[in-house]
Amino acid sequence: MLLKGGTVLTPSGWKKQDVEIEGTVIKSVGPSSKSDDVIDCSNSLIMPAFCNMHTHVAMSIMRNVGEGLSLHDWLKKNIWPREEKLTREDIYYSSLLSSFEMLLSGTSCFNDMYWKFPEEIERAARDAGIRSVVSLDVALAKEPLKSVEGFVREGRATAVHSIYAGEEEAIIKMYELSQQKKVPFHIHIAETREELFISLKRYGKRPVEYLDSLGVLGPNTILAHSSWITVREMDMIAKSFSTIVHCPTSNLKLATGGICPLHEVQKRGVNITLATDGPASNNSQNMFETLKLAGLLQKHKYWDAKLGEPDKLLAFSSINGFKALSINAGTIEEGKEADIVVVERAPNLYPLNDPSTAIVYSADRANVSHVFVKGEHNIVDGKIREDKEQLLNDALSYVEKRAYELREL
């Protein structure tokens, strides 16, 4: 496959180049004329695919439920009671729907946390043609710690929902298991002011301070949200080489009040990543929306229009996520796995004064024309591949019907 004549985001900036894909990897970036299969990209931008670093894809079946509630009320009154009733089939089709939604908007990989049938999430991702790193949330699943050990292997992760839902022993054990298996450890942290008060009352420490006291911060620790954090906690995160995941849309939607201080943590060298959060709290899986909001929030928070730098945001949305998950993708260069998005220029991308700014502040999912996942051409001319169309239709009809039944419960 040859992507011909596009404007390519290379590690050294945007350049007019050809990109040749062979098998699962990028074979070359530069002038090329050899290929039996050519896509004309002369009016397109070619960039690394997004890596959605924190979501709960099985929750698409509960999209648009519980509007107007704060996070803790939303969970306790609307989400957790419905989740108790979700079947294995519910999880599969909901995850399938989310997987296709992500592919259509340029995401090739997602990092998921859920407490029910995570193997069905993995199966749905595989059937749709998207990468996944799934974890079994031991806090909500209430599974014996011993039984979780059999689930964890390469390509998966360990998880505890939060410091208010998970016991100290579970947090420590899941982190130790992640170290032993060399996989990520995934946890919600410092998401709301209420969580902060719970932490101070229960542990006498702020949320990140508490994790630090347990010894569970480290290079494989993934901290979802990290909005209500102090300078001292930022230093702890930086010193431990933990990864932060900023989820701007769900934070705004659920009125959590905190804005992740990207400007301050990036000065400390922290690996910052971006995510949509789940389709029930966002209410979409569109990383273009996440990119734009992440930039705008930094400008707003610090009263500084220079912040929300497009090049940095693009790195947060791709290479930094793949790095956190130990996947050799996220840049367009020879030898990297071919997780690539072709963004077609439409009226919203004219004139192209600066490609990075155009992607972050002007582009949207409608501009996505082709998506490659590990070299596999899964979005073609802006549509799901023909051989997967029936799967998408099955997911749409199943979720629509089952969501109605759940509303009646």
pLDDT at 338: 98
Sheet strands (E) in 333-408? 340-344, 368-373, 376-380, 383-384
Domain identity same for 307 and 375 = no
| Whole-angstrom distance, CA of residue 8 vs CA of residue 334 | 13
Same domain, 278 and 235: yes
Q: How many domains does the chain have?
A: 2
Q: Which of 308, 324, 340 is the last residue in one of the domains?
A: 324
CA-wise closest residue to 95 among 402, 384, 399: 399
* Separation of alpha carbons 223 and 275, rounded Å: 12
Clarify whether residues 44 and 72 are in a common domain. Answer: no
Query: What is the reported pLDDT for 351?
Result: 96
Q: What does the alpha-carbon distance between residue 75 and residue 117 come to, in Å, rounded to a whole number?
A: 19
* pTM of model > 0.85: yes
The answer on 197 and 105 residing in a single domain is yes
Pairing type for strands 107-114 and 50-55 reads parallel
Are 320 and 341 found together in one domain? Answer: no
Give the residue ranges of the chain where pLDDT is below 50: none
Query: 125-128 long-range CB contacts below 8 Å, 24 or more apart?
Result: 125/57, 125/95, 125/99, 127/96, 127/99, 127/388, 127/391, 128/96, 128/99, 128/100, 128/103, 128/378, 128/388, 128/391
Residue 401 lies in a domain: no
d(CA 375, CA 108): 11
Q: Judge if 82 and 34 occupy the same domain.
A: no
- Do residue 269 and residue 194 come from a single domain? yes
**Would you list the DSSP string of 7-35?**
EEEETTEEEEEEEEEETTEEEEES-----
Domain at 355, CATH number: 2.30.40.10
The reply to whether 134 and 280 lie within a common domain is yes
User: Which structural domain, as residue segments, surrounds residue 341?
Assistant: 2-48+329-383
Q: Is 396 helix (H, G, I), strand (E, B) or coil?
A: helix
Does 347 fall in a domain? yes
On whether both 314 and 371 belong to a single domain, the answer is: no
- Neighbouring C-beta atoms of residue 395, cutoff 10 Å: 24
Cis before 48 (ω within 30): no
Q: What's the CA gap between 91 and 88, in Å, rounded?
A: 5
Residue at a domain's end among 280, 305, 324:
324
Cβ neighbours of residue 127 under 8 Å, at least 6 residues apart?
A: 96, 99, 388, 391
What is residue 256's DSSP assignment?
Answer: -
User: Is residue 218 situated within a structural domain?
Assistant: yes
| In a domain? residue 392 | no
Claim to verify: residue 159 and residue 101 sit in the same structural domain:
yes
- CATH label of the domain that carries residue 139: 3.20.20.140
* pLDDT at residue number 36: 78
Dist CA 23 CA 140 (whole Å):
40
- Report if residue 402 sits inside a domain: no
Q: Is residue 403 part of a domain?
A: no
- Are both 148 and 297 inside the same structural domain? yes
Do 341 and 300 share a domain, yes or no? no
399 domain residue, yes or no: no
Final residue of a structural domain among 285, 303, 324:
324
